[in-house]
Amino acid sequence: MRNLPVLVLAMSAVVLTACSGGSSAPSTQSSSTTTGSSGSTTPPSTTPAPQDCNAAYLGQFTQRQKLAQLLTVGVTGEADAENVVRTEQVGGVFVGGWTDKALLAQDQIAKVQAASRIPVMVTIDEEGGRVSRVKDLIGAAPSAREIAKTMSVDDFYTFSLDRAKKLKALGVTVDFAPDTDVSSQPDDSVIGDRSFSDDPNVVAQYAGTFIRALHDAGVGTVMKHFPGHGSGSGDSHTGAVRTPPLDQMQTSDLVPFRKLIDSGSAVMVGHLDVPGLTEPNVPASISKEAMALLRQGTGYGADPFDGVIFTDDLGGMAAITARMSIEDAVEAALVAGADNALWITTDAVSKVLDRLVDAVQSGRLPGSQVDASVLRMAKFKGTAPHC
């Protein structure tokens, strides 16, 4: 089930680059006639060679627009969202607690979608509990910890499916959930009751159920916060966070990710300093070593992961902002191997893209790596070419 496509909001105005079944030229191998045993001549084959649809898909974008597909930015409302999509063709918008809910409640998202050459990801972090952006629109949900204590897995599936269908009806295409952290910390700590349990197997069971329910409703999911925030030293919103050493995380924090890596969910990497994995002062969200651990899987006993890797918010969390500018952070994250950089405002989008274009032109960010990320995003969003 790896890389289950996300069903995005249909847009009749969007026309993707067509990919034909092949060129009209016959293949070299079949260009000559052959003579059968009866002496008759067989005409040359005219079967077309397959066209490279990936190249055709990528060819519809400028380099700047390809880079913009790798950005998801928080918006204040319809005008802000439509402007950043129309002017820069960003790949995703994020609905946060500060966003005017009319964007979803009054179907204003349709105008945003119409401004884009391909469907835009409409993302939200609707976990339930204290991280709930649209409970007034789709109904409240208990915290993850309370759910695991009071609901069976089957009941949780039914409950989540209903809320996911309501999210889908509002125009949401991706939920930055479930929280897949393993934690025994107090309810009101940074993870706390956002975690299903301090038992990694319980976390995997309930997080997997959430993923299945949302996918069944056509909404994408993003497991977070790899490699595990649940035992971290503090809150990455307010400063640097240090986790236990990587070897200690193998039997706890990493277990749910290991079990669910083939679920079709994307993964969000946290701003976490991980002894034995990340370099000093280089949190996982901008660490090549952390991205490689996730991609390769061998370092924590998992299958390789070729789905989408998101960063946690790069613009509003002190674990990053105290160390670098948003331009530096986005470049560092993409160079490290993330596919999509997330932050909570549109203010710096043009400056970020200026920096990223320069990074590609100078060779700091390989163009082939950008192309691979654009194609992963297309598959995740359901806009990848079909030939």
Residue with tokens 């007034």: 136
Decide if 41 is inside a domain: no
Residue 48 included in any domain: no
Measure Cα distances from 291 to 14, 117, 120 in Å: 33, 30, 25
- Active-site residue numbers? 237, 312
| Residues facing 74 on adjacent strands | 94
Q: Is residue 307 part of a domain?
A: yes
Contact call for residues 335 and 282 (beta carbons, < 8 A): no
What's the pLDDT at 10?
A: 37
Q: Which domain holds residue 291?
A: 67-381
The per-residue pLDDT for 12 is 36
Q: What is the C-alpha separation between 127 and 207, in angstroms, rounded?
A: 11
Residue 36 has pLDDT above 80, yes or no: no
Q: Please choose, from the candidates 304, 130, 144, 311, the residue with its C-alpha nearest in 3D space to the C-alpha of residue 222.
A: 311
Q: Which amino acid is at 262?
A: D
Range scoring the smallest mean pLDDT among 190-194, 282-286, 318-322:
318-322
> CATH number, domain at 276?
3.20.20.300
Is the pLDDT at 8 greater than 90? The verdict is no
For the chain, the domain total comes to 1
Q: What is the CA angle 380-385-387, rounded to 5?
A: 135
Is residue 350 in some structural domain? yes
Q: How do residues 243-283 score in pLDDT, each as one tens digit?
A: 999 999 999 999 999 999 999 999 999 999 999 999 999 99
pLDDT at position 387, please? Answer: 60
Q: Is residue 237 part of a domain?
A: yes
Domain assignment of residue 39, yes or no: no
Q: What is the pLDDT of residues 290-327, one digit of tens each?
A: 999 999 999 999 999 999 999 999 999 999 999 999 99
Query: Between 348 and 11, whose confidence is greater?
Result: 348
Listed range (115-119, 305-309, 336-340, 381-385) with the worst mean pLDDT: 381-385
Quote the percentage of the chain above a pLDDT of 70. Answer: 87
pLDDT exceeds cutoff 50 at 26: no
Asked whether residue 47 is domain-assigned, the answer is: no
Is residue 327, in this structure, part of any structural domain at all? yes
pLDDT in tens, 54-75: 999 999 999 999 999 999 999 9
Alpha carbons 110 and 98: distance in angstroms, whole number: 20
User: Which of 265, 261, 183 minimizes the C-alpha distance to 219?
Assistant: 265
pLDDT at position 187 over 90 = yes
Retrieve residue 91's tokens.
Answer: 């790949």
What is the Cα–Cα distance from 294 to 300, expressed in whole angstroms? 8
User: Residue 51: which pLDDT band, with cuts at 50, 70 and 90?
Assistant: low
Q: Identify the pLDDT of residue 335.
A: 98
Residue bearing the bigger pLDDT, 235 or 283: 283
Is a pLDDT exceeding 70 seen at residue 349? yes
User: How far is Cα 354 from Cα 60, in angstroms, rounded to an integer?
Assistant: 20
Q: Among 143, 215, 212, 154, which residue's Cα sits nearest to residue 179?
A: 143
> Does the predicted model carry a pTM greater than 0.75?
yes
E strands in 24-126: 34-35, 41-42, 71-75, 92-95, 121-124
The pLDDT value recorded for residue 32 is: 36
Weakest-pLDDT range from 18-27, 139-148, 209-218, 360-369: 18-27
